[in-house]
Every structure is written in C-alpha cells, then in structure tokens.
Amino acid sequence: MEQKKLPDPFMGPDGTRITSPAEWPAQKKYLMDMLDHFLYGPMPPQPEKVSGTVIKSEKIYNAAIADTVKIDCGKFQFEASIKRPDKPGKFPVICGYTMEPVFSVKSFPAEEEALCERDYVLATINVNAIAFDKSEGGGPIYDACPEFSGKAIMAWSWGIMRLNDYLLQCDFIDPKMLIAAGCSRLGKQTICTALHDERIALAGVAGSGCGGFGSFRILGTLKDGQTQDSTKMETIGRMSQVFPHWFSENMLPFGSPQSPHPVLNEYHLPFDMHFARACLAPRYVLTSNALEDTWGNLYGDWGTYLAAQELYQFLGAEDNTAFFYRPGTHRYDESEFLALLDFADAKLRGLSPKGIADLNKAVFTAGKKAFFDWERP
C-alpha cells in the first residue's frame, strides 16, 4: 500500500492500534523486528565473555588519563581509546567511533573540555578495527566471524556494545550514564546501537540524514520545506548505490537505482525513521543538524521528530527528547558536542547548564499534519 505520509507506529500487526502504554513493549518488538528485517539486518554473534587489558596509559591535558585498551571477545579482539578524568569517582561515558585517518578531522571535537572541565569519559574505536567503510565491505569482524552476513552499520553497532561490556566492568564508569554519539554515517550507527543496547541512557545523533533520522519518503530544504528533490537530498536509491555496505539488501526494492534516484518506491515502505525514534522511548535522545546541510534532509528529520514525539507523549516522556540547530555545513561541530554535554548534564546529572537554553529552537513552521494524519491514542 502506498503511503506518502509517515506510517502509524501505534498500528499493530493485526491491523488494530494499541491503546495503552502497557501494550507498548509488544508493539516496540514488532517495530524493531521490522527495522531489523528491512534496514539493519543480522548482528554478529554475542561473545560468551568480554574482557579488557590496558596496554598503554599516559597523562594528557594535565587533568586526564588516556588508556589504550585491548578488548577481548574470545575469537575477536580490537583496540579502544579511553580518555578519562584523573581523579576518583564514577563518570558518564560517551562512546563512539573515530574515522581517522579516513577523515582528517576528529570525530569528537570538544574532547579536551569534556575531560578536563566537565568530567566525562570518552571511549572510541576506529571503524576499521571492526568493519571497513568500503563499498565491497569486509573487515576484521567478517574475518573472525565468517558466518556473519550483516552490514557495516550493524557491525559497528555491535562493536560499541562490546565496548560497553568492557566499560561496565570499570570502576570509573557510572553504569546509568552510558551515552552513544556520532555524526553522519556514525549518526546512523548511533541510532542502531542505541536501539539494540538498552543499557544506553542517551543517544546523541548529529547530521544522520538518510538511514538516520531523516525521513525516507519526505524530503525538503530549509528554505521551502517539502520539495522531494533527490538532487539535493540523499535517498535510499543513491545511498544503496554508493554505500551498499551500510544497510541490508532488503532496502534495495524501495530505492530508485537510476540517477537522480528520486523518491518513488519509498512510499511502499511499511516504516520510516520515526519508528526508530519511537523505539528509543522513553530514553533520552538529542538530535542536531547544521542549517546548511541540505543533503541531510532537515525537513524530513523534523517530521520524524514530530511523529516520534507522539509516542514519547503517549509514554509520558515528552521532555526526554530535544533538538539543536547550528549555522554551518555538514560535520560534527564543537557546538553540537557541547549541546550534547549540556543535555546530558541536565538529564543524567540533574544540573542546569546555561547551554540548555539553546536547545529546542525550531526552524520549521510545518506542524504534524504536514507529515502524518494519525494521532496518539
């Protein structure tokens, strides 16, 4: 059935809508199964045991420690970098990937401030330690687990889950304050990670676009709202051609393979990315976007935010999500990272950082009816 607006996340598999929060766990499983079948695909096997060994440790910034840790998952090992305050206590930890030397910029641009002034731990893995970011796929996890047939987004998510396994064994980590964060393709991965690891209390998702929090079926620019112009915004068809290693082949029938890869078959998708946002409820989510990042489909991102808010409100958790816009182009800007810290300080630590006032400043006037024609029960 063709649906040009966002599908109803309250509609169950039998064609009836859930009516109470008590029914949400079963409905969430239904939506998660859909996301895994069409988008994320299978996960590498879960190891029986995860352990870690610090192979290098040094003081940095005069107030922090940088550890290089070898994490052992049985038949698979990888290295992680953990930067932490040089003082006693249990701290929140931000987990994510770095792409150096693939990109010449740091994945987390404000790490010094986070470590030295705000008492956060930063734990990162290089993407190539888990799965290669190449169209042909492959990488260490595929060599170690030849039975794994999934794609890179899920493989990277599995890597953060194993990193979390280790971190929860460390006496400097607050187990209630695990944060997953990432930008662009790693924003897509952050969503997948948080969906599949409910130990994560907060997800910081920046510039995630197509396959992230941008809608598959509704495109638009900041200037004129809905335009459906696939030359300006990434679509399933384009992404599947350029980055076939990211998501399941089950998405291929829903994208247009020929340039300019217009939105067409997307209208037959039984889901959109407000389902992913909804499945994170009632946990904390901060999304951020750059106003000049046309490719990221900010209008579609706004639509999935409004739609998922219906579920958050249904669960009485409407204050657990937030958004942040900044000037500029596509990258993980320092202002976005600081907004994440402000949101985490407020929600996880009960603090009142000044920067919290910069959140939730809408740039679109379009309301719910522009994106969906259902309401929460």
Share of the chain above pLDDT 70, in %: 95
Dig out the tokens for 163 from the structure.
Answer: 């990193």
Handedness of CA 241, 127, 212, 142 (dihedral sign): positive
Counting other chains too, the contacts that 176-179 makes at CB distance below 8 Å and 24 or more residues apart are 176/201, 176/348, 177/91, 177/92, 177/93, 177/201, 177/202, 177/344, 177/348, 177/349, 178/92, 178/93, 178/95, 178/202, 179/92, 179/93, 179/94, 179/95, 179/203, 179/204, 179/340, 179/344, 179/348
Share of the chain above pLDDT 90, in %: 89
For the full predicted model, state whether its pTM sits above 0.85: yes
- pLDDT category at 1 given cuts 50, 70, 90 is confident
Q: What is the pLDDT of residues 188-198, one digit of tens each?
A: 999 999 999 99
Contact between residue 95 and residue 160 where contact means Cβ atoms under 8 Å apart: yes
Query: Region 77-99: what's the mean pLDDT?
Result: 94
Query: Region 20-48: what's the mean pLDDT?
Result: 98
How many whole angstroms separate alpha carbon 326 and alpha carbon 333?
9
**Residue 112: is its pLDDT beyond 70?**
no
